[in-house]
Every structure is written in structure tokens, then in C-alpha cells.
Amino acid sequence: VGILREAAQRILVEDGPAALQYSTTEGYLPLRQLIARHAARYGIARWFGQHATGPIPWHTFTVNVVGSFLLGALVGYAASREVSESARAFLAVGILGGFTTYSSFNGETLSLCEQRGAATAGGYVLATVTLCLVAGWSGGWAAHRFVA
């Protein structure tokens, strides 16, 4: 409950009152789903903040790799089942797109470049993109293998 409350407060601080009317291409996303995805991302960030050390933003890295796996699984599942375009867009863009975070990845990469140099930032970008692609492929493979 504490994480949900903190996530809701972050949503309202970061996104303002417009967060209550978050729209997707298919309509408005219910506030509880908005809070759930922010809570998941915030929970991962909080855990890594307490357990991970060093200059690499492991929380964003993990969220993006997990999100890529889930997106690959969704695409793999949707390819073998009859899933409507609106449901696919809602899950891929509305839920997983909100869970993963390019803006944080971008900002943290620029901070790494400034604080630790281009080599560290470049390594972070290369590792993130490579593992996200591998995770996406793995998610699709798992969906075909175990669900189809």
C-alpha cells in the first residue's frame, strides 16, 4: 500500500492533474492501471536504490530489459492468437510503454556521459540496447514455445 501511495504521489507531482485523464490511442487509461505501472517501475527503482551501487542506473536498465521481454512475449502471443489491434495497442503502448522509460534512459545516459565520460555512457547504451533486443527476442520465443 505504501508503494502505491508513493507512486500515486509521484504521478501527480510529475504529471500533474492531467495524470487523472491519461489518454491512449484507444481512449482513457483507468487511474488504477496508471498507478499499477508506475508502482511497478517505482518498486524496482526503490529496490535497486537500496541494493545496487555504482554509477550505472540499474533500475532503469532492469525496467527496460524486463519491459522488452514482456513486449516480445506479447507480440509472440498475439501472433499465435487472435488478439484485437486495440487490445494489442493498449497492452503494448498503454501498459508496457508506460512501464519502460526512454526518457529516464536518455537523461541517465547524458548524466553518465557528463559524470563518468563517453566510454561509460556508450557502454551503458550498448548494453541496454543489446540486452533489450535479446530480451524482446527471448520473450517472443518463450511465447511461441510455451503458449502457442
pLDDT of residue 92: 83
pLDDT of residue 123: 95
pLDDT of residue 24: 47
pLDDT of residue 82: 81
0.85 surpassed by pTM: no
Please say whether the beta carbons of 8 and 20 come within 8 A: no
Measure the CA–CA gap between 57 and 80, rounded to whole angstroms: 35
Listed in sequence order, the DSSP H helices in the chain are 2-15, 31-51, 58-80, 85-89, 97-99, 102-116, 118-146
pLDDT of residue 14: 52
pLDDT of residue 103: 83
pLDDT of residue 58: 82
Phi, psi of 25 (to 5 degrees): -65, -20
Q: Compute the mean pLDDT over every residue in the chain, rounded to the nearest whole number.
A: 77
Residues of the chain below pLDDT 50: 1, 15-27
Hey, is 52 helix, strand or coil? coil
